[in-house]
Amino acid sequence: MELPSLNTPAALIDVERMNRNIDRMQRRMNALGVSFRPHVKTTKCAQIVRAQIDAGARGITVSTLKEAEQFFASGIRDIVYAVGMAPARLPQALALRQQGCALKIVADSIACAQAIVSFGREHHATFEVWIEIDVDGHRSGIAPDDDLLLEVAHTLSDGGMVVGGVIAHAGSSYDYDTHDALVRIAEQERSGCVRAAQRLRAAGLPCEVVSIGSTPTALAAEHLEGVTEVRAGVYVMFDLVMHGVGVNQMPEIALSVLTTVIGHQREKGWAIVDAGWMAMSRDRGTQRQKHDFGYGAVCRENGEVLDGYLMSGANQEHGIISRSGSPDHEIETRFPLGTRLRILPNHACATGAQHPAYQAIMPDGTIETWPRFYGW
């Protein structure tokens, strides 16, 4: 296939940009002396993850056990399920381990640790468990100096489970937009997780892995002393939120949505396209940043960014293209009926999830269809 033959809306990947993004992150991790474990929830696509592994990634991170099952079936064995383990999901996790998957699971409470121990004993099974560390108050985890850390570790270890390490995610890094702030958050993430590992070891408990990561902190960290691996996901595509954070330029965004102009509202300065929130997602992450791109930034079909134009509104199957500031009353002439445009997404993970497959534009201009995985 070639671009003019595609139906719209369609999720496009610029493979040349994607490969540059993969190479940039892997080279940085190599220079910092740590292993890299990409978070594959961004793309959930076997072809993309294979490119990350071929570039040097060691293992993957998933956000659902369905992802773990599908990637294990595609030949990837070393997998971290980086979500707190609900007791009802333990049979699914055990089935993966019994098939030979080196699945690691996560706990951050006594109740979770007790559930894992109880299930493991009942089924004569041993799980490798990583303890989640809260380094910034963003979401979940145990503070590095909380006594709960040792209680959870002892519960797991005394119960016959393997305490494999500690894991942290500085999600608050998305709230900043200067290099100095990102360097500070990256060091806070590193030092907090390393501190937790040191406390476990000082108590005579094992802690082989110290795993941290987010795209902003991975790209801002000045050193990673004491860290064994980094996880990041959205870097492979980048997006407008990451652009607002300051870690990528617009021409580095590898994901876009191809759409067609299907109507106009001349007096309002609107062009109507066939990509609504069902194609873009409802994510408005840039709304909290200095530059609000609405539902996405507008590009020509060839990917050239059209400064000042954005998807300002979205219904289920309709998107509204307009100019920021004053209305463009020549928009009907500028974007005639049938014009094809590309929209850069606010959040690559959310936009990708709206589509069953990517249309991957290869360096020679040909297009391959790359399916996505779905489910929990």
**pLDDT-based confidence at residue 1 (cuts at 50, 70, 90):** confident
pLDDT in tens, 167-225: 999 999 999 999 999 999 999 999 999 999 999 999 999 999 999 999 999 999 999 99
- From CA 200, how far away is CA 310, in angstroms rounded? 50
pLDDT in tens, 120-171: 999 999 999 999 999 999 889 999 999 999 999 999 999 999 999 999 999 9
Diameter of the chain measured on Cα atoms: 72
Which pLDDT belongs to residue 333?
Answer: 97
- From CA 39, how far away is CA 366, in angstroms rounded? 27
For residues 341 and 261, is the Cβ–Cβ distance under 8 A?
Answer: yes
pLDDT in tens, 264-286: 999 999 999 999 999 999 999 99
Which pLDDT belongs to residue 311?
Answer: 98
Burial class (CB in 10 A: 0-12, 13-18, 19+), 205: middle
**pLDDT-based confidence at residue 312 (cuts at 50, 70, 90):** very high
What mean pLDDT do residues 230-256 have? 98
How is domain 250-371 classified at the architecture level of CATH? Beta Barrel (2.40)
| Domain ranges, ordered by start, for the chain | 16-236, 250-371
Which one is the CATH code of 16-236: 3.40.50.280, 3.20.20.10, 3.40.50.300, 3.30.70.420?
A: 3.20.20.10
- From CA 283, how far away is CA 241, in angstroms rounded? 10
What mean pLDDT do residues 64-72 have? 98
Average pLDDT, the chain: 97
Q: What percent of the chain has pLDDT over 70?
A: 100
pLDDT in tens, 53-63: 999 999 999 99
What's phi and psi for 364, nearest 5 deg? -90, 5
Find the helix or strand (DSSP H, E) in which 133 lies. Answer: strand 128-133
Residue 19: is its pLDDT beyond 90? yes
Residues 6+ apart with CB under 8 A from 247: 182, 215, 216, 219, 220, 235, 238
Query: Given the structure tokens 């990256």, which residue do they identify?
Result: 186
